[in-house]
Amino acid sequence: MRKSKRTNQNQISILTLDDDPIITSTIKDYFVRSGYAVDTDNDPEAAIERIRDGSYDILLLDFLMSPICGDQVVEEIRKFNKDIFIVLLTGHKSMAPPVKTIRQLDIQGYYEKSDRFDQLELLVESCVKSIKQLRTIKEYQRELANAYMQTIETLRNVVESRDKDTEGHSSRVSALASAIAEEMGLPKEEVDRIRVAGLFHDIGKVGVRDAVLLKKGPLTDDEYAEIKEHPVEGEKILSPYTEFEKLLPTLRSHHERFDGRGYPDGLSGEEICLGARIMSVADSFDAMVSNRAYRRGLGFDVAMAEIERCRDAQFDGSVVDALKSMIEKMGEGNFIKVFCSHALNDGGEN
């Protein structure tokens, strides 16, 4: 039986904390024989830092310690770790903290010290069952998330493969938008978020009919209305995945205009999130320099002149200025090679 227990439980790590080294050593010996990985500490403040820096599943700690008691230790730990399972050890049942405190600090139980550890082992085994159940749930959630991400990536590829004229558009918009965000001094986390949003900004077009998406002539009012639904549809597609939550405003609003004449919500100015204002400039620039079935790429100079003309109307002027600053720093030739090489390769006017 012991051999089987070691096999099943050797992934569980325990930290035991007591200001009496004899107690921690005794507890360690007992649970090591039961197949657990056990560390000990006799300094409450040092133990808090070990938990902050390490990875423990269960904490067994004495209630009455110096310089701080067990409930204070738990209070500090719960500020940064909500997952670790905690069992308080007390010299006598009457010394245990009130039930209200145990609930507030999310303590899984308490154990009255004795020469026998069978009751403590039962408490630990109960914790282990819960930990393994949570691990199973998290692994299942990860698998679902991975499957969902694969589906989303497939949808993105479907959108671009349907229309050869826009193949690679999302990747280019992602690169340009994130470069503008860096030029504006945004934090790395926000730059990365804009980079990902660029990859998926047109995913809502998966629901647009081929007759509309691939039409070579002018769109009717009804057809244009269908195209205008793609930001909302993209938001719907990505909203079930919590990792995309902070991207959704950028996805929904990348066709809003600074003057309030855009879609889908008619937002204006700083009502539009900064990510969407950046995406709007990057998206429009790439669309203008790229070849389309109904026209040739407009060329770098024409595209930049149009973006400048539309500053403070379609585009946020501060984003336009960041784009121009980036071009000046890179040099126009290098900028064209990096962000317009597809148009050059396709015989565009850049």
Catalytic residues: 205
Give the DSSP H or E segment for 62. strand 58-62
- Please list the alpha-helical segments (H only) found in 54-117: 70-77, 99-104
Give the DSSP H or E segment for 61. strand 58-62
- How far is the C-alpha of 92 from the C-alpha of 114, rounded, in Å? 9
Strands (E), 58-188: 58-62, 85-90, 109-112
The structure tokens listed for 350 are 């850049």
Q: Which amino acid is at 195?
A: R
- How far is the C-alpha of 338 from the C-alpha of 282, rounded, in Å? 13
- How far is the C-alpha of 275 from the C-alpha of 197, rounded, in Å? 8
Residues in the chain: 350
